Amino acid sequence: MSERIALSALEDTPSLPLQACELSYVVGERTLINAVDLTLLPEVITVLMGPNGAGKSVLLQLLHGLRVPTRGQVLCAGQPLTTAHRLRQAMLFQQPVLLRRSVAANLDFVLKLRAPEDRHAERNRLLGDVGLLDKARQPARRLSGGEQQRLALARVLAVRPRVLFLDEPTANLDPASTALIENVVRRVHQAGTKVVFVSHDAAQGQRLADEVIFMNHGEVLEQTAAVHFFDAPTTRSARDYLAGKLVF
Amino acid sequence: MQDFGDAFALAGQLLVSFDPDLREIVGLSLRVSVTSVLIACLLGFPLGALIAVGRFPGRGLLHVFVSAMMGLPPVVVGLMVYLMLSNAGPLGSLQWLYSPAAMMIAQTVLITPIIAALTAQVVADLNREYHALFQSLCVPAHRRVAALLWDARFSLLTVALAGFGRAVAEVGAVMIVGGNIANLTRVMTTAIALETAKGELGLALALGMVLMLIAFAINAVLMVTRARAVERAYV
Ligand SMILES: Nc1ncnc2c1ncn2[C@@H]1O[C@H](COP(=O)(O)OP(=O)(O)OP(=O)(O)O)[C@@H](O)[C@H]1O
Ligand SMILES: [Mg+2]
């Protein structure tokens, strides 16, 4: 079937490194993203931090092709971002968007799109990974917040992404769900997926990050190894942010 | 003119005895309206979804057109279909005027815009919720439409039943194109109008009660399915 995208056909499209070149995004008079230059390498987990309204979500949406940049471009392995690349990217939203169906049917929707051979086994494996196997038949939108986010995570993994964006996925979750999601993310990273994780939680950053990107006012102020960032951030804003002060 | 007591007694008797005339009229009404609703849904659901999520030139115009058609007076629809089907009209050779087929066409024309417009609204609301997910997953357009229609199925059932209610209760259009011919095109509403005019209130009352019963049944079905859907957060 034509709309099914055989995964093997895509193996050849290299996705990484992911780069932003002079990336800007302007709405009306406001510059939400201002000439951002970034290179995201496959080997490291990148945690994106910055105060509310810094532009983290917008930047992820640009990198994922959900918004079209006003200036500049996103490059995947040196090539402009196309649908072929986007098919191997996935994004976990801060508020999970679940279909009005059962837990299992939510996964099947994606598995049918991407047509892996043994859909049933794949679905059960994914549900097992996020601890929802016993809830497969339940209506997805009747799950608790944490369970919904775990289901959404299983669903993005069904895409078998090369690049995984997570926009504050654990913002409202209890420690157990947070730990589960962090563990899955680590495993996915070890299996070769580039992870870009937005978080406000410095402790979480320290647990997960290999490198930290710090943003404010639509600009990238730091891109440093995690050890350096949490010990000695170079910018004043980052120091204030980590100290829990309001950043201007 | 009978007195009211007699009329009610006769109506009750007709209903209890399952009078053949009554049965035929009710049967034809249901056949015509159910067929019309099915066709109208087949046309209106995809059309509504297209209006809701489609990105093509003229989409706004189409939306306005469909919304405007919603308010068409049934007699005007009846007149249009009459002109189409009359001997001089473009479809005159079909010889469908004064047949159940003509009534089905009239009712379909009447309710398709209603179903399409309501569907557009339901689907647009759901699409606002799903849009980012669909974008992120690069879901092809036809899959989006299918998923939206499926996930909106409980709301669309309400839409379909609203269409049915309107079709089965409509008089003007079926009178014009059906002609209210006994044993051929006489449906509940046209029979009620005729019998009442003749002063034969018994049959009119019995048919009126059947119509009310249908309305109650529709609402009961709606309430039960909605409650089930709400329980599962599917609406
Ligand atoms: N479509 C839009 N039109 C106008 N302004 C927008 C639009 N989208 C986002 N913004 C603005 O862009 C700024 C950055 O938003 P963004 O959601 O990226 O912040 P964030 O860093 O993710 O913040 P948070 O930590 O609160 O999630 C905000 O001030 C927001 O109001
Ligand atoms: Mg955000």
The single residue listed with the structure tokens 């059932």 is B157
Please give the share of chain A, as a percent, with pLDDT higher than 70: 95
Kindly report the nearest CA distance between residue A144 and chain B, in angstroms: 12
Give residue-wise pLDDT tens across range A22-62: 999 999 999 999 999 999 999 999 999 999 999 999 999 99
Give residue-wise pLDDT tens across range A162-210: 999 999 999 989 999 999 999 999 999 999 999 999 999 999 999 999 9
Q: What is the DSSP string of chain B?
A: ---HHHHHHHHHHHHHTT-HHHHHHHHHHHHHHHHHHHHHHHHHHHHHHHHHH---TTHHHHHHHHHHHHT--HHHHHHHHHHHHSTTSTTGGG--TTSHHHHHHHHHHHHHHHHHHHHHHHHHHHHHHHHHHHHHHT--HHHHHHHHHHHTHHHHHHHHHHHHHHHHT--HHHHHHH---TTTT--HHHHHHHHHHHT-HHHHHHHHHHHHHHHHHHHHHHHHHHHHHHHTT--
User: What pLDDT is attached to residue A248?
Assistant: 77
> Range of B56's domain?
4-233
β A163-167/A194-198 pair status: parallel
Question: Can you give the residue ranges of every domain in chain A?
Answer: 14-88+161-248, 100-160
β A71-76/A18-27 pair status: antiparallel
β A89-92/A45-49 pair status: unpaired
ipTM here:
0.91
User: What pLDDT is attached to residue A2?
Assistant: 40
Question: Is the pLDDT reported for residue A101 higher than 60?
Answer: yes
Residue A91 near chain B (CB below 8 Å): yes
Query: What φ, ψ does residue A197 adopt, rounded to 5°?
Result: -125, 120
Contact A77, A16 (CB under 8 A): yes
**CA B151 to CA B129: how far, in whole Å?**
12
CATH architecture for segment(s) A14-88+161-248: 3-Layer(aba) Sandwich (3.40)
CATH (domain of B32): 1.10.3720.10
Backbone CA torsion sign across B209, B214, B219, B220: positive
| Nearby residues for ligand 2 (ion, Cβ within 5 Å) | A 57
Encoded tokens for B133: 């997910």
Residue A109 near chain B (CB below 8 Å): yes
Domain count within chain B: 1
User: What pLDDT is attached to residue A1?
Assistant: 38
Contact A166, A134 (CB under 8 A): no
Nearest to A40 by CA among A217, A202, A196: A196
Query: A244 C-alpha vs ligand 1 centroid, how far in Å?
Result: 20
Q: Which of residues 133 through 192 in chain B touch A, CB cutoff 8 A?
A: 133, 135-140, 142-143, 147, 151
> Do B138 and A83 lie within an 8 Å CB cutoff?
yes
- DSSP code for A97: -
Span between the terminal Cα atoms of chain B, in Å: 51
Nearest to B153 by CA among B215, B221, B229, B218: B229
Nearest to B207 by CA among B7, B3, B4: B7
Least CB–CB distance from B129: residue in A83, A97, A101: A97
Encoded tokens for B17: 């005895």
Residue A49, H or E segment: strand A45-49
Q: CB of A56 closer than 6 A to ligand 1?
A: yes
Query: What φ, ψ does residue A128 adopt, rounded to 5°?
Result: -60, -40
**Residues A1-5, mean pLDDT to the nearest whole number:** 44
- Reduced to 3 states (helix: H, G, I; strand: E, B; else coil), residue A89 is strand
Give me the half-sphere count of Cα atoms (radius 13 Å) on the Cβ side of residue B213. 10
Which positions in chain A touch B148 (Cβ < 8 Å)?
Answer: none
Query: A53 C-alpha vs ligand 1 centroid, how far in Å?
Result: 5
Residue A126's CB: how many other CB atoms inside 10 A?
22
User: What pLDDT is attached to residue B183?
Assistant: 94
Q: How confident is the model at residue A3 (pLDDT cuts 50, 70, 90)?
A: very low
- pLDDT < 70 positions in chain B: 1-2
Contact A173, A145 (CB under 8 A): yes
Kindly report the nearest CA distance between residue B145 and chain A, in angstroms: 13
Q: What is the rounded average pLDDT for all residues in chain A?
A: 93
User: What pLDDT is attached to residue B235?
Assistant: 85
